[in-house]
Structure 1
Amino acid sequence: MKLLKQIATILTPGEDKSSETVEWEMSILLGWVKQTYTLQSDELLVNNLLNFSRGFWKGLFTCYDHYYIPRTNNDLERFFRKTKASHRRITGLRSWNSYIIRNGEMIVLVNDALRQEHVISRLCSVSFSRYKSRKALWDQRLTGVILRKKFN
């Protein structure tokens, strides 16, 4: 438990922390763990810790240099869980893979829009000519995506 608290302390954001300093502190701690936990009973802990951190290492420290990047993706996961639960409730199907592949980001955009306040008034405020020009751009984009998939 003490080891996990040390890791949590290192990874806790602070005003004076940068990705370089946190990465350096984590490297030092992981090196210390390898040298300190040498018993055979510690092998599973050490291997799991090293493998887990290695898997996330590349993007683990980005949030310290860029304030707009969240430290975790918990909010995003929660958002998708709501959308997925809604699909399950409507269709009764456990998997939503074919649904999300077929409809893509439009599902998430519509579900998010429906949860927003004043969505009808906001939609009514868009002029038809602006909608038509945006739709043309969207159709162009979709055609390009379909053609790329067809020829690749």
Structure 2
Amino acid sequence: MTSPAAEFIDRTLQAEGSEARAGADAGRIGGGMRFYGASVGAVRGAVRDARRRHPISTHDEVTALATELWSEPVYERRLAAIVVLQREVTMLVGNDLTRLEQFLRDARVRELVDPLATDVVRPLLERLEGAEASRARRITDRWASEADPHLRRAASLL
């Protein structure tokens, strides 16, 4: 089932996209994903407008929306998921690292890995304290020796 916020974002991104830009982005970014051809500004605007129409007020709503957007291998949807997490990073908790690790594994391209690591994972790690912070550091330290190049890159950015 698709949430109203995710439907709104997806519909807006498709409307804002262009075939020419989608082709250019696919050639430049790659990663085997689909591209709508929407600009970064359009992605940010779609998330902003969706939040106005469909307020997000809980941790579970934030993570559910991000997960729903990420579930399709469409570059702009995944970028929108990152924007949602960036805007609500203070709601994230240490246990969210499992979901974020999966996003990093599925990211396919640096253009998604880098903002996810620097604008979501890093601020989350900086907020954690005590045992939760120690557990999170063990997880992200493990990323540095993973076979997955996206996790290694993320670890290097933290």
Superposition TM-score tier, normalisation by shorter sequence: under 0.3
Q: Which of 1 and 2 has higher RCO (CA within 8 Å, sep 6+)? A: 2
Q: Which has the larger radius of gyration?
A: 1
